[in-house]
Amino acid sequence: MKRLVFSLALLCALGLGVFWWLTAPGAAVSAQDGAALESGGDRARGEIVFNAGGCASCHMTPGQSERTVLGGGFALTSPFGTFVAPNISSHPRDGIGAWKVADLANAMLRGVSPEGAHYYPAFPYTTYAHAKIEDVRDLMVYLRSLPAVEGKAASHDLQFPFTIRRGLGLWKWLYLDTTPLKPEPVQSEAWNRGHYLVEALGHCAECHSPRNPIGGIIAAQRFAGGPDPEGHGFVPNITAKGLGAWSRADVSELLATGFTPDYDSVGGSMAAVVKNTSSLPKADRDAMAEYLKSLPAREGPPRPAKQASKVD
Amino acid sequence: MIRHLLAATALLACATGAFAQSDPIAERQQLMKSLSQSARAPGAMLKGEAPFELSAVQATLKTFADVGKKAPTLFPAGSNVGHDTAAMPKVWTDKADFDAKWAKFESEATAAQASIKDEASFKANFPGVARACGGCHENYRAKKN
């Protein structure tokens, strides 16, 4: 009996050890490498990263129209509770004004805070993890040039056990892929640029893919559409299955004006995405269109029948 | 008998006529479709599928401005249900902001009529006006599907 208890205790300790090891936050950039990142960087290029990454969609202060006022406060509802985007303005106390480039790199590329805690993947670092370190540096130069906004955003309102950040380590172990995107030499330069913009910055797949019950994207149905992660409506399939009849110019046009090929205009959360993509150079929108149009047709989850809304 | 029939027909005609006239939901949806229709020509020019033609762009902008003036009157209280309307409740709970969005749409379309003189100014200024469509749909129109 004593032996059994002992082995159980050992097993439990071992399990906890594995949990601790699996969930330990790891940094992308050491303090040493970080020092070199503090010099250089290009604001104009950083602005492109900002728009391609769609940071304003979540971090701009709601209820005003300046995309550069990044006071946070936007609430993202999810099955796990409500996440509130924090203040990432240049304010030294309430924003990230005191951050180093390395801090931003660890946040975006690994989902780890300066204090070494895990971030929730509501912050789409699963996408940004593929970004180039030089792009993070340029982005930081741009962010530092934006106005400081005073005041912290509200805290998240989550259900137990999602309140425990350490547990996110397990989730990351399953779903966070930090390998940089490899260029595909057989594809055109525009395709490769589009690949990078869509997969490392645009986080298009975060909305346009179905998720499993613990919030991981179902890989085989990436871009094949699914229920809106925020709970209302359905996000369309943007593989060849959904966009088969669209030309590359049609896709590029949608990213510039929000017009679909029949000149209806997209709404919902896509309208905010169009505000981001319309601020990019046209060549970048064309490149994204080139990449999207190359996605093979994938069958998505069935669209729920439209709710009967006829009252008359 | 004939008289009854005539009277009934007349009454029916009146009723349906009046109904069509006082049906703001159908009317605004028709008006919205006309916006899409008129965006076609400049859209094709933006995509490089049609040559630039200033008069067509100006006609579209005029339609936009006219619709912007007329549309706010087509969302009277009580027209929030029926006819498969996709207008969200916020149209009525936040009416001042909704009306301001129309006013902005109209003024942007009017300003663009003055600022668009050639292909370059068209490419620079038209997309901004077009984005006003999504800027309003984002908050006030339920997704079509």
What average pLDDT does this structure show over A200-229?
90
Q: How far apart are CA A186 and CA A207, in angstroms?
A: 28
Chain B interface disruption, residue of A265, A273, A277, A303, most B CBs within 10 A: A265
Give residue A308's pLDDT band: very low, low, confident or very high (50, 70, 90). very low
Enter the DSSP assignment of A93.
Answer: T
Interface of B with A in 54-113 (CB under 8 A): 81-85
Report the percent of chain A where pLDDT is more than 90.
Answer: 63
Q: What are the boundaries of each domain within chain A?
A: 26-175, 189-293
Provide the β-strand partners of residue A265: A259
Angle at A138 between CA A135 and CA A140, to 5 degrees: 110
Confidence (pTM): 0.85
For the segment A144-181, what is each residue's pLDDT rounded down to a tens digit?
A: 999 999 999 999 998 888 888 888 888 888 888 888 88
Comparing CB atoms, the residue among B40, B82, B133 nearest residue A258 is B133
In terms of DSSP bridges, do strands A157-158 and A234-235 run parallel, antiparallel, or are they unpaired? unpaired
pLDDT at A205: 94
pLDDT exceeds cutoff 60 at A34: yes
Comparing CB atoms, the residue among A262, A267, A303 nearest residue B137 is A267
Contacts of B84 in chain A (CB under 8 A): 309-310
Closest approach of B62 to chain A, Cα-based (Å): 17
Q: Which of A88-97, A218-227, A299-308 has the lowest mean pLDDT?
A: A299-308
* B10 part of contact set with chain A, CB < 8 Å: no
Q: B90-119: string of b/e by CB count within 10 Å (b at 16+)? A: ebeeeeeebeebbeebbebbbebbeebeee
Comparing CB atoms, the residue among A232, A278, A312 nearest residue B83 is A312
Q: What are the boundaries of each domain within chain B?
A: 24-140
Whether A259 and B43 lie within 8 Å, measured CB to CB: yes
Q: Which residue of B has its CA nearest to A308?
A: B84
Closest approach of B4 to chain A, Cα-based (Å): 29
Closest approach of B10 to chain A, Cα-based (Å): 24
Greater confidence, B18 or A113? Answer: A113
pLDDT exceeds cutoff 70 at B107: yes
Class of domain B24-140: mainly alpha
In terms of DSSP bridges, do strands A226-227 and A234-235 run parallel, antiparallel, or are they unpaired? antiparallel
For the segment B52-89, what is each residue's pLDDT rounded down to a tens digit?
A: 999 999 999 999 999 999 999 999 888 888 778 888 88
Q: Which residue of B has its CA nearest to A307?
A: B145
Enter the DSSP assignment of A199.
Answer: I
Instruction: Identify the CA nearest to B32 among candidates B71, B59, B2.
Output: B71
Q: Which residue of A has its CA nearest to B125?
A: A257
pLDDT at A172: 85
pLDDT at A15: 57
Q: Which residue of B has its CA nearest to A256?
A: B127
Closest approach of B35 to chain A, Cα-based (Å): 8
Residue A76 DSSP SS3:
strand
* Strands (DSSP E) found in A225-304: 226-227, 234-235
Q: What value does the CA radius of gyration of chain B take, rounded to a whole number of Å?
A: 19
What average pLDDT does this structure show over A21-44?
80
Report phi then psi at A211, rounded to 5: -120, 155
Contacts of A257 in chain B (CB under 8 A): 43, 46, 127, 130-131, 134
